[in-house]
Amino acid sequence: MTDTIYDYVSNYSAVDADIKSWYNTNASVNRISFSSSTRRDIVYARTVLGMKHYAASLSNFAGLGGIIIGPPIPAPAAYTYLKTDNLYSPIPSDAYTAAVAAGGGIPISDDAHTSFGRILNKPHYHPRDLNGNKIETHSFYGL
């Protein structure tokens, strides 16, 4: 372990340059690579572990939009969570079910907002309450 730390310290400038390059110059390429491994992990968690819903927040990664996927939330708690915060589900039917449960009415389906180059945005549902009023949270879906 000590050798690893000394190796890092002795190569700090090179490592720092690589990190800056990763975030600035090649951001879109690395985001796609990261996104692929994230999708694999989410499919595994959904299929094997039964995790259907995750906390989500809006992002604008390198001007490309997108969402940040947070920790998993069990189904009953996810429905309550979606009343005030954004949620992500990999499968559209899970996102729809969450939106129905959160609002009580038929959700509004919305395509990904990809204008202005925000190609990483996701399609989603907006829950509606029993009076048909749109709830401003998002139930995102898609891999």
Q: What is the pLDDT of residues 90-128, one digit of tens each?
A: 899 999 999 999 999 999 999 999 999 899 899 999 999
H helical segments located in 1-143? 2-10, 12-23, 27-48, 75-82, 92-103
Could you tell me which of 86, 95, 109, 100 has the C-alpha nearest to residue 129?
Answer: 100
- Name the token pair of 97: 């079910």
If one compares 137 and 8, the residue with the highest pLDDT of the two is: 137
Q: pLDDT by residue (tens digit) across 34-72?
A: 455 666 777 777 777 778 999 999 988 888 998 988 888
Question: What pLDDT does 35 receive?
Answer: 54
Instruction: Give the pLDDT mean for 64-82.
Output: 92
- pLDDT-based confidence at 17, cuts 50/70/90? low
